[in-house]
Structure 1
């Protein structure tokens, strides 16, 4: 990789992705996720296919190589192409990073839309703490018992994408949480002030 601004920026993004992935792995080990993960054994076939790929790999490379692969969940099946952003801006360091992403398909599908929408921005990408906040907001929405068809998650993904298109920047994580709480309350779901969404 050339030693120029572009190369250094890519290295910094890659390091952020590695740190974020480590943090996600630690969080998953604590077991506080609201969306139950797809069982490891259900991802074995995908893991076998990923082992033949060269990493790090971009989202585009993954979609081209294994986008057709189906991930079975209790709520239905998803193609990997529905869960991984088809973009150069998203890089995966290992097969485990891909498996971790697709294990929570509802959140992954919403984040895919957002990441792809950022491709039009000058500073493309959803990185670091902002991405973690978006993902946590989606997990919290998934955890609301009354949300059985993930409608609120779709509404929030639409809202974020619309803000990106209108304002040409990502909405702040606090704005996303406020809007999510507003949508929940409008649809009869209780959101207490001491919860993540109750900002």
Structure 2
């Protein structure tokens, strides 16, 4: 491969795709963590309905196939349409399932992705997006019994920050804001944790 811009771009895209595959495998292994287990078999029904979708598929194709189905979180119920961004690209039904395992996180991520569309020149690299999602998951663990107020507060903060400054906050700034939220609301955050910044 030649050492020019096109070659470097291809290498970066290939590296990002490999990272996505590793992230997907890791998420599938941890699939039973922060959100409570679903006893109604909703995700199984969604996986069955996804058999009619040709993968790789966009979020809009997934929504067309299963958008009206509901996914339950600890405190709320979401339609798949509320959780899946239109431009999202899914490589397999398993990738959709992983995305839906944490509905509150998926809803916050979609809110952020939709807000970014209105910010000029704003792009969300995969690594920063994963850091945002990890922050949302940590907040889910911290206050899962309190309507996930922290996830909403931080996703709103990201959107507000992006519009005010016309750029996305760094993952460290998001973690710092999440830690501040936790401490102001009486949640313990240790320095050796993700939010302990």
With the shorter chain as reference, the TM-score category is: 0.7 to 0.9
Task: Please give the secondary structure, in 2, of the residue aligned with 1:198.
Answer: coil
Distance 1:93 1:120 in 2: 26
Pick the aligned partner of 1:135 from 133, 150, 165. 133
**Following superposition of structure 1 onto structure 2, how do residues 60-139 of structure 1 map, counting pairs within 5 Å?**
60-86=60-86, 88=87, 90-139=88-137
Q: Residue 24 of structure 1 aligns with which residue?
A: 24
- CA shift for structure 1 position 62: 2.2
Distance 2:45 2:155 in 1: 29
1:194 and 2:192 matched: yes
TM-score (normalizing by structure 2): 0.82
Residues 18, 93 of structure 1: 8 Å contact kept: no
Q: Which of 179-188 and 73-82 deviates more?
A: 73-82
Distance 2:50 2:10 in 1: 23
Residues 17, 128 of structure 1: 8 Å contact kept: no
Q: Residue 42 of structure 2 aligns with which residue?
A: 42
Task: Please give the secondary structure, in 1, of the residue aligned with 2:196.
Answer: coil
Q: Which of 115-124 and 94-103 deviates more?
A: 115-124
Please, which runs of 5 or more residues in structure 2 have no aligned partner? none
Residues 14, 91 of structure 1: 8 Å contact kept: no
- CA deviations over 1:80-112 (Å, ceiling 9, x no partner): 0111113x2x21111111111011101111101
Distance 2:32 2:46 in 1: 25
Task: Please give the secondary structure, in 2, of the residue aligned with 1:144.
Answer: helix
Distance 2:49 2:31 in 1: 27
TM-score (normalizing by structure 1): 0.82
Distance 2:118 2:11 in 1: 22
Distance 1:39 1:11 in 2: 42
Give the 3 Å change call, closer, same or farther, for CA 21–135 of structure 1 in structure 2. farther
